[in-house]
Homo-oligomer: A and B are copies of this chain.
Amino acid sequence: MTSSLLPELQPAHLREVGIDSATVYQGHFLHAVRDTVVLPDGSRALREYIKHPGAVMVVPLLDDGRVIVERQYRYPLQRALIEFPAGKIDPGEDRLACARRELREETGYTAREWARAGVLHPVLAYADEFIEIWFARGLRLGERALDAGEFLDVLAVTPAELLAACRDGVLTDAKTLTGLLWLQNWRAGAWPLDWREVEAAAAPVAAQG
């Protein structure tokens, strides 16, 4: 047992090496693959997992101290849950552009300032999905533009309400709880955010030439 987690994060004695890969299911939404891997002791094993393009999540801060969350029915869990706005990255899409698009489409808000907090991995045992975490402030409310078949409520709540909802078992979405960890530590002055102003236009236009 060692006492620090930081040095040598990719030790050779844990590594698994893929030697083949096949798609085992290609649905409308899910893409599952099964790879054969060589384990550290030379034996072989199968690894089945979901291929995912990655996603972004936004922690939207209102000027009055409240934050914007959504309530959305999540069919696999047979209930509606509270979440920060999030969505999949389109092919070739810039991550900040994706964050701005998802916030605007799902909640109607645009933001003057953005800061990238970090990244999380929701389910490392069976998906390659990452979720990049962005904070947004200087919010202005416009029109929502939900996808067809998308239904969700938009709520403005205090960080204290969200933390109490986690403590009481009402808020259980892991990405949102990770956003709360960031929010709590940023508000306490413990973790920094590097804010940048963005143009009001949703889609930046590259200069010609």
Q: Are the CB atoms of A10 and B80 closer together than 8 Å?
A: yes
A73 to B14, CA, bound (A): 6
A3 to B186, CA, bound (A): 23
Q: Are the CB atoms of B149 and A43 closer together than 8 Å?
A: yes
- Other-chain residue from B41, B45, B69, B125 in contact with A5 (beta carbon distance below 8 A): B69
The smallest C-beta distance from A180 to any residue of chain B, in angstroms, reads: 6
- Other-chain residue from B119, B123, B167, B170 in contact with A122 (beta carbon distance below 8 A): B123
A121 to B78, CA, bound (A): 12
Q: Are the CB atoms of B124 and A76 closer together than 8 Å?
A: yes
User: Interface extent on A, as a size class?
Assistant: 35 or more
Chain B neighbourhood of A178, CB < 8 A: 174, 177-178, 181
- Other-chain residue from B30, B39, B49, B177 in contact with A49 (beta carbon distance below 8 A): B30
**Which of A1-39 touch B at CB < 8 Å?**
1-6, 9-11, 13-16, 18, 24-25, 27-30, 32, 34-35, 37, 39
Chain B neighbourhood of A14, CB < 8 A: 71-73, 80, 151-153
- Other-chain residue from B4, B37, B77, B118 in contact with A166 (beta carbon distance below 8 A): B118
Binary contact readout A68-87 vs B (1 if CB under 8 angstroms, 0 otherwise): 01011111110111110000
